[in-house]
Amino acid sequence: MEKWSRTIFFVVELILGIFTMTMAVRISADEGPQKKVAVIVEDSGNSKWNSYIKGLKDAAKANNLHLVICNTDNGLDLEEEKELMEEQRNKGVNGFILQPAVGKETESVLSGFHEPILLNASTTGRNFYGRYALVAPDNYRMGAALGQCIVKDYNGNLRDKSIGVVRGRKEDPAVEQRWKGLSDVVEKAGGKICWILDQRQDTAIAEEIRSRSTVSALAVLETDTLEDVADAAAAHDVHGAIVYGIGHSIKSVYALEREIIAGLVTADLYDMGYYSVQEMAQKLSFPGRELKDRSIDVLVPDKGELFTEKYQKFLSAMER
Amino acid sequence: MIMTALTTITIVITVTLGLLLFNSYSKSLMRLTLKDTDSLMDRTVSNLQGELLSMRNISNTVNYDLIHSLDVKNPQLMQQLGLLYESSRDSVVSIAIYSNEGSLIMSEPSLTQKEDPNVTRQKWFSDAAGEIENMHFSMPHIQNLFQNASDPYHWVISLSQSVDLTDGENPSTGVLLVDMDYGRIKEIMDQINETGDGKYYYLCNNKGELIYHPSLDQINRGLVKENSVAMATRVDGSYTDALKGSHRHNQVKTISYTGWKLVGVVPDNAISSSMKRFRYFILTAGGLLLMMLLGVNRIVARRISLPILKLNRSVRAYEAGEKPNIYVGGSAEIRYLGRSVQKSYEEIDHLMKQIVEEQNQRRKSEIAALQSQINPHFLYNTLDSITWMVEGGKNDEAVMMISQLARLLRISLSKGHTIISIADEVAHCESYMQIQRIRYKKRFTFQTKIDPQILSCCTVKLILQPLLENAIYYGVGDMDEDDGGQITVTGLMDGDEIRLTVVDNGNGMTKEELDHLLTEGEKVPKHGSGVGVLNVHNRIRLLFGPAYGITAESEPDEGTAVTIHLPAIPYSPETCRQMEQQMKNKGNSERS
């Protein structure tokens, strides 16, 4: 009887001891650090990322994540991106949201990291695409929408119309896909793409355009390039061509409002940032869950609509 | 039992205290949070009202001090407007005067107006033109008036009012517009939303349209919802609501001049982090307290209940006839109790032994006294009579008396046996009476009428002789020969019982004397010891039990009959030995 009583007493004390220790550990465990997510996009200080970064931050706050937005310059290469990722990994980040740097070794570099990786731009290889989730606008659709703008302004008939294309950086797969979308629509409408221009860092875009033949319309496929072409158009330095472009900056929108460009295709990058972090947060909370692709809506604002409630909200996110 | 009771009480007290503490803490924390929110909102309302009042003052200054007194074409108006703008450019984006047709009359700063801003269709213009007596604060919007490449989409809150313009000789009406930098409002609101503890503040107009919300972009995209429409209709105060299953406390305060509502939202989960930590703290403290109290309970229980249990067990064992050592242990009080019980039992044992010993001694002494009473007393009288006979020359009678005495002594001794046959007892009493008759000069007669079948039965020896002695002393001894004194001993069998009766026709006894005959009360001895009858009675009861003994009947001057009741037990040496052994055993068991 006495032995039983003693055994029960010690068992109860042991259970209480384990319970108390667990609770004590939980007091401090509850104050544990937030999960960290590193974001690496090219030229992170560029105003074109304003709404994107706003989306990232809002989602990080809503999901209690610590966001590290890495400082990068224009022309981020694969080696720099790798170094940044390693540096962040050493600092204990739990996941990466990337605009993957273009290069042949991109796949092997990314496969060297075991943290979850979510991409904000598609990459080159077919096999590579699909291994990582992609939250981005559909670049083919954006290119096609730009083509539709041109076709619409010419009443659906581009016969006898010459079109020049300014692609930005040649090797960017996103631009490549936009180009495909654009060319499919233009050719279908009977238009002729006279030349394709890949912007070089060391040459002013106006000079490049002036060196080419005169065209009826210019289609610009990248934000930075569009801003440069808009500046040239404002200076009447594009041989009178009507400019259309894909861009995500305030400057692009302002160019549309001032009718420097005739058509603009954009995407709500706030959504891209927001959904990227939200997806990553879910992955970090439930490691067994797979990251999922998400396509961001493509917007084609009309000049007359810019001050409507819909586009004021869109512009609101673009302001830092 | 004590351990269980203490444990139950401990658990109940610990859990109750924990719950009370937790409940009290959570209520206090929520009260404090709401108080902080209220206090912060008061300061914010004051700041916002200050900003709005400042805008109203600018607008009124332009209207009453400049436009009312100066012609629109007067360069001083432009100059004064410029000075006013410069003094308030931190919060004012632009000041502009429009004609009723929407044409720009003047503006500060002097920027190029956009080609077709559609001024008359802008809400601030239509509000001012529609209700000319009021000042109108618009919702935040992108200023769509001037070209500004460096900051093309500036967010402003427009304060507009209808004004009377003087243009030369032509008075007209127009609209005065003061565009306030929305960043000023945003800055104030951002500051109070920096806490990141779950609570937040937003600003809406009286229709519930959001002016500022920390999650405005998410709300615009339908990612988050807000109950602003419901709160916009409420007067200042505290309200609760539920949003996406989250229970929230809303503090509503109205901003003067605009009807805007500043709403502070404190979701229950705003304090959940603190409460969660406090819950773990309570559970940890409760666990520790429970562990310690259980330990203390066990120590207390071991020091009180266990020694008492052991003491109880040893006492019960003692009562069950075992001879364990009484437990002495535990606390000082219980040790003292154990020692007291032990001492009591030892004392009881000692007293029991003493009582038994005393009773045995008493019994022995009584028996010995009884027997010794007979012999010396009787021997003295007999020898006295023999002496008297020899002196009187009555040698034959002396010889007969000596021979009777010898037979009497032989039966008295009976080789040390206590049990003899009734025949011997009768012979003994006949010898005795022969001797006594000679001593009393045959003043009485004696006869025996004994049923022969009882002669071979057992009896305690020397039980008739004391009765005969009494019959002589108190009955017929004092009678003359002529009085016909007579003593008769009868013996008969009545069922299983033998009755030996000594009857005399002597003086008899009063009822009082008869009542005292078999009690140990006062004796009224006239001759002899005076305890002979009682001794006989006790000896019979001692051997054969309380159903047997002596009964007596007497009438004063008529005589006395004393009857001995005995069980009919056939006499044999073996029976004699067994009965004597039984007496011995009985004496031993009483002793133990």
B149: chain A residues, CB-CB within 8 Å: 254
Q: Which of A8, A11, A14, A19 best tests the B interface by mutation, with the highest count of B CBs <10 A?
A: A19
pLDDT at residue number B219: 92
Contacting residues for B375 by C-beta, under 8 A, at least 6 apart: B409, B412
Residue keyed to tokens 């629509």: A185
A315 closest CB neighbour out of B153, B196, B221:
B153
3-state DSSP call for residue B243? strand
First to last CA, chain A: 76
Q: Where in chain B is the domain with CATH 3.30.450.20?
A: 1-192+271-327
Q: Longest C-alpha distance within chain B, in Å?
A: 201
Per-residue exposure over B348-377, b if at least 16 CB sit within 10 Å of its own CB, e if not? eeeeeeeebeeeeeebeebbeebeebbeee
Inform me whether the C-beta atom of residue B298 falls under 8 Å from chain A C-beta atoms. yes
By CB atoms closer than 10 A (0-12, 13-18, 19+), residue A242 is buried
A19 closest CB neighbour out of B220, B287, B298:
B287
Q: Do B220 and A313 touch (CB under 8 A)?
A: yes
Contacting residues for B277 by C-beta, under 8 A, at least 6 apart: A27, A30, A31
Q: Do B153 and A270 touch (CB under 8 A)?
A: no
Average pLDDT, chain B: 85
CA distance B36 to B117: 45
**Side chain identity, residue B126:** S
**Side chain identity, residue A280:** M
B290 closest CB neighbour out of A16, A254, A274:
A16
pLDDT at residue number A129: 55
Q: Where in chain A is the domain with CATH 3.40.50.2300?
A: 35-137+269-297, 139-267
Is residue B221 over pLDDT 70? Answer: yes
CA distance A135 to A116: 14
Residue B475: which of B461, B490, B488 has the closest Cα?
B488
A307 closest CB neighbour out of B3, B144, B218:
B144
Tokens matching residue B145: 């008036």
Which residue ranges of chain A lie beneath pLDDT 70?
Answer: 1-2, 30-32, 122-130, 169-170, 200-202, 320
3-state DSSP call for residue B557? coil
Is residue B505 over pLDDT 70? Answer: yes
Residue B547 sits at φ, ψ, to 5 deg, of -75, -15
The CATH number of B354-591 is which of 3.40.50.620, 3.30.70.1890, 3.30.565.10, 3.10.20.740? 3.30.565.10
Q: Do A58 and B217 touch (CB under 8 A)?
A: yes
Give the tens place of pLDDT for each residue, B143-192.
Answer: 888 888 778 888 999 999 999 988 888 888 999 999 999 999 999 999 99
Helices vs strands, H then E, count in chain A: 11, 12
pLDDT at residue number A127: 43
Give the tens place of pLDDT for each residue, B384-393.
Answer: 878 888 888 8
CA distance B280 to chain A (A): 5
pLDDT at residue number B398: 85
CA distance B55 to chain A (A): 23
Dihedral over alpha carbons B310, B315, B320, B323 (to 10 degrees): 90
CA distance B14 to A255: 72
B218: chain A residues, CB-CB within 8 Å: 58, 62, 274
Contacting residues for B425 by C-beta, under 8 A, at least 6 apart: B411, B459, B461, B462, B463, B464
CA distance B584 to B573: 16
Task: Count CB-CB contacts under 10 A for residue A127.
Answer: 8
Contacting residues for B147 by C-beta, under 8 A, at least 6 apart: A258, B111, B112, B113, B114
Per-residue exposure over B11-25, b if at least 16 CB sit within 10 Å of its own CB, e if not? eeebeeebeeebeeb
pTM: 0.65
Per-residue exposure over B316-332, b if at least 16 CB sit within 10 Å of its own CB, e if not? eebeeeeeeebbbebee
CA distance B217 to chain A (A): 7
Contacting residues for B16 by C-beta, under 8 A, at least 6 apart: none
CA distance A219 to A200: 17
B 466-495: CB under 8 A from A: none
Residue B284: which of A59, A19, A173, A84 has the closest Cα?
A19
Is residue B591 over pLDDT 50? Answer: no
Q: Do A23 and B218 touch (CB under 8 A)?
A: no
Tell me the H-state helices in B251-325.
Answer: 272-319
Residue keyed to tokens 């004064």: B80
∠ CA B442-B459-B538, rounded to 5°: 90
Is residue B592 over pLDDT 50? Answer: no
DSSP state of B462: T
pLDDT at residue number A198: 84
Tokens matching residue A86: 């390693």
Q: HSE (CB half, 13 Å, CA atoms) of B335?
A: 5
State how far the alpha carbon of B38 is from the alpha carbons of B42, B264, B270, B416, in Å: 6, 8, 15, 118
Residue B137: which of B206, B68, B85, B189 has the closest Cα?
B206
CA distance A248 to B75: 43
CA distance A36 to B214: 22
The CATH number of A35-137+269-297 is which of 3.50.50.60, 3.40.50.2300, 3.30.70.3450, 1.10.3720.10? 3.40.50.2300
By CB atoms closer than 10 A (0-12, 13-18, 19+), residue A279 is buried
Is residue B527 over pLDDT 60? Answer: no
Inform me whether the C-beta atom of residue A1 falls under 8 Å from chain B C-beta atoms. no
3-state DSSP call for residue B136? strand
Q: Longest C-alpha distance within chain A, in Å?
A: 107
Percent of chain B with pLDDT over 70: 93
- Report, at the CATH architecture level, how domain B1-192+271-327 is classified: 2-Layer Sandwich (3.30)
Inform me whether the C-beta atom of residue B3 falls under 8 Å from chain A C-beta atoms. yes
CA distance B252 to B261: 6
Section B280-307 average pLDDT = 83
CA distance B403 to B400: 5
DSSP state of B461: T
Inform me whether the C-beta atom of residue A307 falls under 8 Å from chain B C-beta atoms. yes
Chain centroid to CA A2: 73
Per-residue exposure over A248-262, b if at least 16 CB sit within 10 Å of its own CB, e if not? bbbbbbbbbbbebbb
Inform me whether the C-beta atom of residue B291 falls under 8 Å from chain A C-beta atoms. yes
Q: Which of A3, A10, A58, A66 best tests the B interface by mutation, with the highest count of B CBs <10 A?
A: A58
Tell me the H-state helices in B223-271.
Answer: 228-232
Tokens matching residue B66: 């400049």
3-state DSSP call for residue A7? helix
pLDDT at residue number B589: 55
Confidence grade of residue B366 (pLDDT, cut at 50, 70, 90): low
CA distance B170 to B73: 12
Give the tens place of pLDDT for each residue, A188-209.
Answer: 999 889 999 887 666 778 888 8
CA distance B261 to B205: 6
Give the tens place of pLDDT for each residue, B235-251.
Answer: 999 999 998 888 899 99
CA distance B138 to chain A (A): 14
Tokens matching residue B513: 């004397």
B 391-420: CB under 8 A from A: none
Peptide bond into B109 cis (omega under 30): yes
Is residue B7 over pLDDT 80? Answer: no
**Side chain identity, residue B530:** G
Tokens matching residue B449: 């009428």
Section B105-134 average pLDDT = 88
Would you say the ipTM is above 0.85? no
Q: Where in chain B is the domain with CATH 3.30.565.10?
A: 354-591
* Fold (topology level) of A139-267: Rossmann fold (3.40.50)
B111: chain A residues, CB-CB within 8 Å: none
